[in-house]
Amino acid sequence: MVTYIEAGAAPYKNTGVIRLYGPDGFEGMRKACRVTARCLDELASRVQPGVTTEEIDRFVYEFGMDHGALPATLNYRGYTKSSCTSINHVVCHGIPNDKPLREGDIVNIDVTYVVDGWHGDSSRMYPVGEIKRAAERLLEVTHECLMRGIAAVRSGARTGAIGEAIQSYAESERCSVVRDFCGHGVGRLFHDAPNILHYGNASEGPELKEGMIFTIEPMINLGRPHVKVLSDGWTAVTRDRSLSAQYEHTVGVTANGCEVFTLSPAGLFMPGVRALGTA
């Protein structure tokens, strides 16, 4: 059975109940998510051939320190970096290292900042120099998956409506949806109920209610959907080594749809990509 609870009345751990946040929660999330979005904007000009993901991670740490924001991933379940940097066939949770980015790479940078206890979680794809048309198409399809997922959010619908919108579009474009990772409730906690699957059926999952806050973060592959986690315990890669992409926003359910908290102030959500229908 699904239960919902006024956010302030819930214990500070994921017990499976779905928190409903009021105006204070939405305001807290706006602040945290704005810092995250501004950091991701700053990275657009910094992601270049020759730059290492370690350098990117250092920038994420410093930017947080300069803006009253703590990276939520630091010491999270043994993770020791301020960001995840997932290159090419890495699906998610790539660990920043000292290897330089190369022309033609595509890299997802995923940042979660905590500001006044609120978590702002977002990720984007960054092309490194010139990328191949197949890679650019994957970025366009993945971004469109996120946008269609967001468009499905309204109170009264089920979480499955988000997954159905994403899966049907991805597969119509001959891409596949990763099943092993999902979006999640977020707010006071980094990873909370409910899970937001990026596949499935509109008749499934808990009902969306005004005040719910969660991420949508589809991982889409050019090849097959299957992933494996490397021996570092984090890095998830496509089993067939096909390219993978991901975009992530944090959203809150409102009376007439949703508010996207992690929009790019500079209009740089898809830097260097000819987007389908982006402003």
Annotated binding site: 93, 110, 121, 184, 191, 217, 248
Smaller CB distance to ligand MF3: residue 95 or 208?
Answer: 95
Looking only at residues 205 through 224 of this chain, which bind Co ion when binding is defined by CB under 5 A? Answer: 215
In the structure encoding, which two tokens stand for residue 104, read together? 């033609």
Phi, psi angles (nearest 5°) of residue 94:
-65, 140
Contact between 210 and 20 under an 8 Å Cβ cutoff? The reply is yes
From the list ligand MF3, Co ion, none, partner contacted by residue 76 (C-beta under 5 to 8 A by kind): ligand MF3
Contact pattern for ligand MF3 over residues 91 through 130, marking x by CB under 6 A? --x----------------x-x--------x---------
In the structure encoding, which two tokens stand for residue 258, read together? 């949703």
Residue span binding Co ion (CB under 5 A) among the ranges 60-68, 106-114, 151-159, 201-209: 106-114
In angstroms, the CA 55 to CA 97 distance is: 8
Q: Give every CB contact of residue 276 below 8 A, 6+ residues apart in sequence.
A: 140, 143, 144
Cis peptide before 194 (omega within 30 of 0): yes
Contact pattern for Co ion over residues 173 through 212, marking x by CB under 5 A? ----------------------------------------
Contact pattern for Co ion over residues 233 through 262, marking x by CB under 5 A? ---------------x--------------
Which residue from 131, 132, 171, 169 is spatially nearest to 150, judged by alpha carbons?
169
Distance of closest approach, residue 214 Cβ to ligand MF3, in angstroms: 11
Distance of closest approach, residue 195 Cβ to Co ion, in angstroms: 11
Residue span binding ligand MF3 (CB under 6 A) among the ranges 41-49, 69-77, 157-165, 194-202: 69-77
Contact pattern for ligand MF3 over residues 1 through 40, marking x by CB under 6 A? ----------------------------------------
State which of residues 28, 93, 96, 110 lies at the interface with Co ion (CB under 5 A). Answer: 110
Distance of closest approach, residue 114 Cβ to ligand MF3, in angstroms: 12
State which of residues 73, 86, 108, 262 lies at the interface with ligand MF3 (CB under 6 A). Answer: 73
Contact between 119 and 113 under an 8 Å Cβ cutoff? The reply is yes
Q: Give every CB contact of residue 163 below 8 A, 6+ residues apart in sequence.
A: 149, 196, 197, 198, 199, 200, 201, 204, 205
Contact between 34 and 120 under an 8 Å Cβ cutoff? The reply is yes
Residue 57 lies near ligand MF3 (rule: CB under 6 A) = no
State which of residues 39, 113, 121, 143 lies at the interface with Co ion (CB under 5 A). Answer: 121
Which residue from 109, 151, 133 is spatially nearest to 274, judged by alpha carbons?
133
Q: Residue type at 164?
A: E
Contact between 154 and 252 under an 8 Å Cβ cutoff? The reply is no
State which of residues 142, 163, 217, 251 lies at the interface with ligand MF3 (CB under 6 A). Answer: 217
Query: Applying CB under 6 A, which residues contact ligand MF3?
Result: 73, 76-77, 79, 84, 93, 110, 112, 121, 215, 217, 234, 248
